[in-house]
Amino acid sequence: MVLPYAVPAIFGTVRRTQEPILPLERYALYPNFEQLPYWRQQPQRQAAETSGKLTSRISDFGLPRQAQNALKTAADSSAAWLAQGSKLNAAVTDMMKRDKSVFGERAVTVTVASGTGEVTGKAAFGAPVGQYELDIAKLASAQKNASYELTKDAPSIVGAGTYSFTVGTADMESKRLKVGIRAGDTNAVLLGKLRDAINSAEAGVKASVREDASGGLVKLELLADETGARNAFEIKDDAGSVVSATGLNRRIENASDASYRIGGGTYMDSASNDISLPEGRVTLSLARLDSPGRLTVKVEQDTAAVAERLDDVLHQVNALQDIYSVASGVLQPMLKKRIDEAVHGPGAEGAGVMRSADGSWRLDREMLEAAMHSQPDAVKQAISGRGGLASRLQQTLDRFTGLSTDALISLKAGGFQSFTLYGASSKSYLQLPLGGLFVNSVM
């Protein structure tokens, strides 16, 4: 029987070797065999060559055109698969982290059972899920002063001269301010000078001139920067009577704290209209509530955020499988098979992870939402728990990305048949070590 292998010219003890035993018929395909970079002859090339020289470098090997095309396709497909696999791995890793898991995000819904207006809320990561009933007895307000209404173009209500006055809050030391009034200044000019002096002092008070265009009247209003009794301010004359003459010390709205209780408990006060529920991990804003009333607050897992994150993972899975399909068989079939098995694991379908008719993966959001309301812990376990979808994908991707480049390539692909060799064990392998300099330059 004639063996299809080249017989060595010198006979001796057979020993294990990594050198290929070349099929006789292969010599006809490689007229420049002695110059080819086989395992016995590997050229010394610079690792800094760019991928832009890919075509000329492949041609330098002297391989048949079919072999060149197959090699380039295999290298490009492997690089694309590994790059997309890294993106997918990062996404599933984030889904599993305790401090970043999407299952720690919360949605807050507030219903105004009595009263008018709107209340918004937000919850910290991992805040307890539950429902709260609140009674709002009083809203927090900021102090507001207003001067007399003065005729805009009439001469200033105070004579020419320099006037000083003080303004400040309980939490801020009073500041002494001055204004200079000239002969001929009008009331509009007077109030404008008072406004500018107060605003430039940054004393916790905002001043603004209001004009009644139809009546030709102007007035100066003062508003505390913040709500609450502790942020009440005082303005009074120091030298002269500009404050009392203009009526700027008239308080038309007092500063007050918000008063509320949770679940029928004792009433609590808040200097602002941002109030906290137990443990301070849920905050409500009453700023748009027009009148006191009763509220119902629900803190739930953020189903929309879970759906968005899971949908993104499935989108990346589909992109990874598309790379395999476009590769036309040059990648190992186990890549697609193992990824599909990782997605279609225990509990995935119950969480809304479905297979489309074309083989791609999709998320049934209605099914996910129903499962999140009825069995939130089961959904969390199926997606991000130990042995869940994210964990299975991560383990599969870690195993593949740790393999050598040629391990991802299927030697059964038609383009490789013309330059596949056989070792002493009759196991096929490529003449070119794809994990070396050549493939690294491609990737």
- pLDDT for residue 400: 87
pLDDT attached to residue 78:
86
Residue type, 407: A
For residue 13, is it within any domain? no
| Whether residue 350 sits in one domain with residue 270 | no
Same domain for 213 and 229: yes
Say if residue 352 is in the same domain as residue 399.
yes
Residues 311 and 435 in one domain: yes
Which residue, among 351, 247, 277, has the nearest Cα to 309 in the 3D structure? 351
Q: What pLDDT is recorded for position 98?
A: 66
Residue 15 falls inside a structural domain? no
- The total of structural domains in the chain comes to 3
pLDDT score for 414: 60
Q: Is the pTM of this model over 0.75?
A: no
β-sheet with 161-169: strand ranges across: 175-181, 161-169, 233-239
- Whether residue 134 sits in one domain with residue 270: yes
Query: Among positive and negative, which fits the CA dihedral 396, 323, 345, 302?
Result: positive
Q: Both 123 and 153 in a single domain?
A: no
Neighbours of 321 (CB within 10 A): 20
Distance CA 195, CA 52 (A): 68
Answer yes or no: do 279 and 182 share one domain: no
- Boundary of a domain, candidates 223, 253, 283: 253
With respect to residue 318, please indicate whether it lies within any of the assigned structural domains.
yes
The reply to whether 412 and 383 lie within a common domain is: yes
Q: Per-residue pLDDT tens for 217-229?
A: 999 999 999 999 9
- Is the distance from CB of 164 to CB of 238 less than 8 angstroms? yes
Does a structural domain hold residue 14?
Answer: no
Q: Using alpha carbons only, what angle is made at residue 141 by residues 137 and 146, rounded to the nearest 5 degrees?
A: 140
In tens, the pLDDT along 311-366 reads 999 999 999 999 998 886 788 888 999 999 999 988 999 999 999 999 999 999 99
Residue 74: per-residue pLDDT: 80
Question: CA–CA separation, 218 vs 214, rounded Å?
Answer: 11
Model pLDDT, residue 383: 92
Task: Answer whether residue 331 is part of any domain.
Answer: yes
Decide if 7 is inside a domain.
no
User: Is 216 contained in some domain?
Assistant: yes
Range of the domain at 347: 24-98+305-442
**Nearest CA among 260, 200, 204 for reference residue 232:** 204
Please state the separation of Cα 234 from the chain's center in Å: 46
- Whether 319 is covered by a domain: the verdict is yes
Helix or strand (DSSP H, E) at 243:
helix 242-246
Based on the fold, state whether residues 44 and 122 are members of the same structural domain. no
pLDDT under 70 in the chain at which residues?
Answer: 1-68, 98-99, 328, 405-406, 411, 413-443
Residues 6+ apart with CB under 8 A from 372: 301, 303, 306, 379
